[in-house]
Structure 1
Amino acid sequence: MAYAETTSVSVEKSEAEIKAMLRKAGATSLMSAEEPGNAVVAFEMQGRRILFRLPLPARDDKRFANDGRQRLRPADKRAAAWEQACRSRWRGLMLCIKAKLESVESGIETFETAFLAHVMLPDGSTVGDYAKPAIALAYETETMPPLLPAPRRQTEEAKER
């Protein structure tokens, strides 16, 4: 069973709880946004920008159309099932962030370690986005990427400066 699979806590309440929890922990510049299929929560804390992407189910996902007994659900029941899945996802995100903050507060790990995959890089991607392909490649090839990138070759123009 997925966490909070049957929760009645609204998306809006979960979102507000996340923001209140982050403010209490010292976060600044909070934001959240939604578009079909995705939500984001971002904040600044301890000199870092943190970005959580929350995949949301599509309204037309087939799992909402069927009632589990091979019968088609009416439109209102499909909408209710979709809303339930969204509420569950938001509760899961709240739990994830809460656990990371607790881990930091308890001294189990540092802020940077707890939130590392979600640290936003200057190009808008996250450390996790950057690291996942490198980790996959390291496992596939059984070789480690270089500790430092290869030195950049200077162009003739740069040498003249």
Structure 2
Amino acid sequence: MTKYAQGTTVSSDKSRAEIESTLRRYGATSFMYGSAPDRAIIAFEAFDRRVKFELPMPNPQATEFTRTPGRNHLRSPADAAKAYEAAVRQKWRALALCIKAKLEAVESGITTFEAEFLAHIVLPNGRTVHDEVAPTVSIAYQSGKVVPLLGKF
């Protein structure tokens, strides 16, 4: 199966700007962007919630970039960089689609903002709901028993 936007020529910067514009159009009041070699982060405030998406970046040293597909020949540094940049562009386009689809589903009344963005909502401790809940969900599936999320009162 082909990845969404594979082969796109839309730059990562343009996709990021589109995400910011989309968020503002749907009611976000603040927007933040940051990057590191292994990930990019966008965060925003909307409907009295802080939301954070981490976009994992591919490893530029991965075989998929340094070697040609099929024949497994070493790519030139320039060709490896082009392949890597194409993968990064694809990831940004996919994130733009994801966020736009979620916001449109909320706007259309299909779901609520809270339900659609729940995993990415940042809690007062700086962690996302997903960060807090995922281990408990994993334990529940492994053991077959539902574990209280907040413990006993």
Bucket of the pairwise TM-score, normalised by the shorter protein: over 0.9
TM, length-normalised to structure 2:
0.95
Aligned to 1:5: 6
- CA root-mean-square deviation: 1.0
Choose 42-51 or 127-136, whichever is displaced more: 127-136
Count of residue pairs the alignment pairs up: 151
Aligned-partner residue type, residue 45 of structure 2: E
Aligned-partner residue type, residue 14 of structure 2: K
Q: Answer yes or no: is the 8 Å Cα contact 2:20–2:31 preserved in 1.
A: yes
Aligned to 2:94: 92
Q: Distance in 2 between matches of 1:19 and 1:108?
A: 22
SS at the partner of 1:39?
strand
Q: How far does the alpha carbon of each residue in 1:77-128 deviate from its partner, in whole angstroms, 9 at most, with x for none?
A: 0000000000000000000000100110111110000000000011211101
Residue ranges of structure 1 left out of the alignment (5+ in a row) = 152-161
Deviation of residue 140 (structure 1)?
Answer: 0.7
Aligned to 1:145: 147
Q: Answer yes or no: is the 8 Å Cα contact 2:51–2:117 preserved in 1.
A: yes
SS at the partner of 1:7?
coil
Q: Distance in 1 between matches of 2:81 and 2:149?
A: 50
Which 4+ stretches in 1 moved above 6 angstroms? none
Deviation of residue 59 (structure 1)?
Answer: 1.5
Identity %: 48
Deviation of residue 147 (structure 1)?
Answer: 6.0
Deviation of residue 131 (structure 1)?
Answer: 1.2
Is 1:103–2:105 an aligned residue pair?
yes
Aligned-partner residue type, residue 29 of structure 1: S
TM, length-normalised to structure 1:
0.91
SS at the partner of 1:50?
strand
Aligned-partner residue type, residue 4 of structure 1: A
Aligned-partner residue type, residue 88 of structure 1: Q
